[in-house]
Amino acid sequence: MKFSKLALSTSKNRLNSDECLSHRILLQSGLLRRYSSGIYGNHNLLVRSQEKIKQIIRSVLESYDCVEVSLPALQPKYIWEESGRWNKYVDSGQMFSCKMSNGTYCFAPTAEEAIFTFVRDTLKSYKDLPVNLYQIGPKFRNELRARGGLLRSKEFSMMDAYSFHSSTESLKEEYAKMKEAYFKIFKEIGLNVIPVAAMNGDMGGNLSEEFMFISDAGEDVILVDSTGKIGLNTELLEMENIGEYLQSNYGIKNIDMLSQKHCIELGHIFQLGQRYSTSMNGTFQDRNNNSIPYFMGCYGIGISRTLAAICEQNCDKNGLVWPESITPYAVYIAYSIDKHEEAFNLYSTLVNENVEVLIDDRDLSLGAKIKDSKLLGIPYMVIIGNKAKSNIYEIETRVNGQKSHMSLEQLLNLFK
Amino acid sequence: MKFSKLALSTSKNRLNSDECLSHRILLQSGLLRRYSSGIYGNHNLLVRSQEKIKQIIRSVLESYDCVEVSLPALQPKYIWEESGRWNKYVDSGQMFSCKMSNGTYCFAPTAEEAIFTFVRDTLKSYKDLPVNLYQIGPKFRNELRARGGLLRSKEFSMMDAYSFHSSTESLKEEYAKMKEAYFKIFKEIGLNVIPVAAMNGDMGGNLSEEFMFISDAGEDVILVDSTGKIGLNTELLEMENIGEYLQSNYGIKNIDMLSQKHCIELGHIFQLGQRYSTSMNGTFQDRNNNSIPYFMGCYGIGISRTLAAICEQNCDKNGLVWPESITPYAVYIAYSIDKHEEAFNLYSTLVNENVEVLIDDRDLSLGAKIKDSKLLGIPYMVIIGNKAKSNIYEIETRVNGQKSHMSLEQLLNLFK
């Protein structure tokens, strides 16, 4: 891609605000555009990175036999009346609802009602279970305390999965598998996450765990053990038998063994049990022809938030530093104006080899281009200064600033 | 993917309705799930096919230097007041709008307002132009006459592109390029489309052309010449100087040279000129430092509708017939229960070779599986009957019903 086609204007100055560093870099780079509180547009580089996150999620979930579907974001009121959540969600002011001449609708912040309506006439026998269906798409929530751009916005991208089972044992098995799948997903994306035991909140049901990314930009306070592998949401401290719970579930004898940290919540997995299947009349016939409500699990990953966490984990004073697995472009070509032809020859060669290249073809000094390459965080930069020798390329690695010189052949090998 | 994981239940009976054949097949196969008028959920096979359509669009548009971005679907009222379209859209009852405690919002049926707000502070000089930005995502319109499932629904998937120029000439050049890109996209998808001259309607501006797919399922009446390459929307007949227009633009001397057909509209390209840039104050500095409103083009492709047209073009009495370029799965394995192990060995081999396989592992007769394979329209079916010889596979091609026998090696070659 040619930079001149991006309609992207970077700024030299970082905003002064109490927002987290990554958010300020995203605004400075022009990658995030604010419309109003909690409403943003995403520029090309963020869209490309998000698509890669989605592909990683799809590929891991498919290997766990999860099936992608697409539920409507626009939903009729009646399905929310069945679950008994319409008034609660609308009265809280958090759900966008519209009274139109031909009916009342909402734009869904979550999709338990929609998935039930989707599967209820299909999953009729124990033979049809277990299944796990997921979707990837926009969700809407009227955040009254919107902040941090991608971190807590009114429109956000999510993966939400729903599993249906004929027994608690089958639900528990799937829950454990999904936990494993989540670790794979976040590992592949390049984020360190901690599973944190939490309350189920609005969702109802029995057990849930949040996948938290430790960051000063986070809002929630969690308690983490010294290995960084056990976490608890502080909400849990309100539980009556918390001491016993810690001892029996984690072998923790004293709450002082845990220290406080701040969390961005990236994912959440729930064992919902029969709460929704009872109210929404979702039942299957067991081996003895009894009608039993499904046992249900649900699993979410905030994709916009994951992107925010990646930016927060991977930035320095010069800008972003994309991990290679989800970088929008692999290489940035910064060149002096009088090296235009050589730069575009290299660009064409790389594009033909399916390397994702961003070439900075703007009428700017080489120094300004190098600054923007660092600000935008592309993993490799090829620098073609006016004294550059032909067929020897200077490469700078964003993550550590290391420079090296390569032939075209070596360069092509680097991207294979 | 294993069929048992799809949560898909097909029916033997087609619905009796006056809806088009493809829509009835989509409901019969369970691929489309109705929530209420104009609101549907899409099953796995439709989602996979849509993703392939999106990838074709992305790949062609990127080769034309178009840049993918993502604008919010949820939009604040103020941007629609700037363009002067808020009252018109809300009063017509077609735009979903919500009055919340913290502001008034809408869910956008189109994104001219959003794209202006996105680029206005960035495209300041003639040097920044031309650019062409597009997004792929959901749009919302409160269709009062929703019909045909994917054809006219309240939530639908669209590609919408917006180009900005410093002169009419540059706009015309881009318009011609996009027309070329559209032909490439629809050719790759495997749909025959006709560009049809049309009025600009709500969009304003000067010139527009619709990309129509000829089908009895279509609603619009268009006039087409005998070569099938020239089309006119009948709206145009209301133009005062229609005779002159036909003669000078198409060399058509007499309207009787054209015959009436029915159109599904799949795409639309517009030369909007300066209509929005004037009202929304989107200007650039020209070479003489004069402030000039951008010249603007906009270009849309209805992705849900394209999927509907594909189904309508590619179905027969047995069900769907996916074109290979956008089929959700390449091959369907139908086997007798006692060939379970052999079938799963083949499945694993194909999955390891990255072939997209759907294996019908349900507890059903081979005959029922073969029927569903045809109903779902997967291009190739491997049939493993209880008398099948090991390592010789029976293949049936969906499009023409031809059968052949292949070794594993030949089978793998077929999918390479």
A76 chain-B contacts, CB cut-off 8 A: 35-36, 39
Question: In chain B, what is the straight-line distance between the N-terminal and C-terminal CA atoms, in Å?
Answer: 19
Q: What is the pLDDT of residue A376?
A: 97
Task: Judge whether B264 and B124 are in contact, CB under 8 Å.
Answer: no
Of the pLDDT bands very low, low, confident and very high (cuts 50, 70, 90), residue A219 is confident
Q: Which member of B65, B93, B154 has the closest CB to residue A5?
A: B65
B131 part of contact set with chain A, CB < 8 Å: yes
Task: Judge whether A100 and B93 are in contact, CB under 8 Å.
Answer: yes
pLDDT digits (tens, 9 = 90+) for A145-184: 877 778 889 999 999 999 999 999 999 999 999 999 999 9
Task: Judge whether A123 and B7 are in contact, CB under 8 Å.
Answer: yes
ipTM of the complex: 0.94
Q: What is the pLDDT of residue B201?
A: 57
The full DSSP string for A301-322 is: EEHHHHHHHHHHHSEETTEE--
Is pTM, for the whole model, over 0.90? Answer: yes
Amino acid identity, residue B332?
A: Y
**Closest CA in chain A for residue B46:** A69
Q: What is the pLDDT of residue B205?
A: 53
- Tell me: pLDDT of B206 over 70: no
Instruction: Report the percentage of chain A scoring pLDDT > 70.
Output: 98
Are A114 and B41 a contacting pair at CB < 8 A?
A: yes
Task: Judge whether B232 and B241 are in contact, CB under 8 Å.
Answer: no
CA B326 to chain CA centroid, Å, is 12
Which of A395, A399, A337 lies closest to A362, judged by CA?
A337
Distance CA A160, CA A163 (A): 10
Question: In chain A, what is the straight-line distance between the N-terminal and C-terminal CA atoms, in Å?
Answer: 19
Task: Judge whether B355 and B310 are in contact, CB under 8 Å.
Answer: no
Q: Which domains does chain B have, with CATH numbers?
A: 21-316 (3.30.930.10), 329-414 (3.40.50.800)
- Tell me: pLDDT of B105 over 60: yes
Give me the mean pLDDT over the B144-154 stretch: 82
Amino acid identity, residue B213?
A: F
- CA distances to A75, A194, B60, B396 from A212, in Å: 30, 5, 39, 49
pLDDT digits (tens, 9 = 90+) for A111-152: 999 999 999 999 999 999 999 999 999 999 998 887 777 888
pLDDT digits (tens, 9 = 90+) for B266-291: 999 999 999 889 988 899 999 999 99
Q: What is the pLDDT of residue A262?
A: 84
A41 part of contact set with chain B, CB < 8 Å: yes
B41 chain-A contacts, CB cut-off 8 A: 69-72, 114, 117-118
- Tell me: pLDDT of B89 over 80: yes
Q: What is the pLDDT of residue B398?
A: 98
- Mean of the per-residue pLDDT values for chain B? 91
Alpha helices in B66-167 (DSSP H): 77-83, 86-91, 112-119
A92 part of contact set with chain B, CB < 8 Å: no
- Mean of the per-residue pLDDT values for chain A? 91
Q: Which residues of B363-377 are buried (b: 16+ CB within 10 A; e: fewer)?
A: eeebeebbbbbbbbb
Of the pLDDT bands very low, low, confident and very high (cuts 50, 70, 90), residue B2 is very high
Of the pLDDT bands very low, low, confident and very high (cuts 50, 70, 90), residue A203 is low
Are B41 and A105 a contacting pair at CB < 8 A?
A: no
B93 part of contact set with chain A, CB < 8 Å: yes
Give me the mean pLDDT over the A55-60 stretch: 98
pLDDT digits (tens, 9 = 90+) for A290-332: 999 999 999 999 999 999 999 999 999 999 999 999 999 999 9
Distance CA A94, CA A141 (A): 6
Q: What is the pLDDT of residue A350?
A: 96
B351 chain-A contacts, CB cut-off 8 A: none
- CA distances to A91, B34, B99 from A97, in Å: 10, 20, 9
Rg (CA), chain A: 24
Contacts A–B by Cβ distance under 8 A: 181
Are B96 and A97 a contacting pair at CB < 8 A?
A: no
Are A37 and B102 a contacting pair at CB < 8 A?
A: yes
Q: Which member of B39, B43, B103 has the closest CB to residue A74?
A: B39
Instruction: Report the percentage of chain B scoring pLDDT > 70.
Output: 98
pLDDT digits (tens, 9 = 90+) for B59-76: 999 999 999 999 999 999
- CA distances to A205, A207, A304 from A198, in Å: 12, 8, 21
- Tell me: pLDDT of B204 over 70: no
Length of chain B: 416
Q: What is the pLDDT of residue A252?
A: 79
Q: What is the pLDDT of residue A298?
A: 95
Comparing B204 with B67, which gets the higher pLDDT?
A: B67
Q: What is the pLDDT of residue B229?
A: 76
Are B122 and A30 a contacting pair at CB < 8 A?
A: yes
Q: What is the pLDDT of residue A355?
A: 96
B100 chain-A contacts, CB cut-off 8 A: 93, 96, 142
Are A102 and B142 a contacting pair at CB < 8 A?
A: yes
Task: Judge whether B383 and B375 are in contact, CB under 8 Å.
Answer: no
**Closest CA in chain B for residue A39:** B72
- Tell me: pLDDT of B202 over 70: no
Beta bridge partners of B214: B263
pLDDT digits (tens, 9 = 90+) for B220-241: 788 888 777 778 888 777 777 7
Alpha helices in B15-152 (DSSP H): 21-28, 44-63, 77-83, 86-91, 112-119
Give B386: exposed, middle or buried? Use CB within 10 Å, 0-12, 13-18, 19+. Answer: exposed
The structure tokens listed for A1 are 């891609």
Give B102: exposed, middle or buried? Use CB within 10 Å, 0-12, 13-18, 19+. Answer: middle
Q: What is the pLDDT of residue A201?
A: 57
A379 part of contact set with chain B, CB < 8 Å: no
